[in-house]
Amino acid sequence: MNKDLIQKVLKFRNERNWEQFHNPKDLAISLSLEASELLENFQWKTNEEAIEENSENIKDELADVLIYSILLAEKLDLNIEDIIENKLEKNSQKYSVEKAFNSKKKYTDL
């Protein structure tokens, strides 16, 4: 992940003295709430309708989800690149190309 972007997020937080409110529990709750707000854009709509009608709001809510993810990773002293690469490796074991290609099944059903 771009280190400059992470630093911008942290600078924004620090300039407002918000770190005092950012414990892992509350950041995880905020992340979930923002993900729910992202989902609201798609409720009762087709993909096409949601994107056409709510494109800007979808971008804003997705940005909030990503920002809270950055803040939570920072608070837990986790390297975003490392944890993503680790998860991709785990997923590659669960979802081998041979078994998972062109399938939407969960790895336990492959």
CATH number at residue 65: 1.10.287.1080
If asked whether residues 24 and 70 sit together in one domain, one would say: yes
Which residues make Cβ contacts (< 8 Å) with residue 72, sequence separation at least 6? 24, 27, 28, 31
Identify the domain containing residue 108 by its residue range: 80-110
Q: pTM for this structure?
A: 0.91
Tell me: do 19 and 54 sit in the same domain: yes
How far is it, in rounded angstroms, from Cα 71 to Cα 94?
28
One domain for residues 22 and 63:
yes
Q: Residue 10 corresponds to which tokens in the numbers above?
A: 């942290």
Residues 34, 72 within the same domain: yes
Q: Which tens digit of pLDDT belongs to each residue from 7-25?
A: 999 999 999 999 999 999 9
Residue 1 has pLDDT above 80, yes or no: no
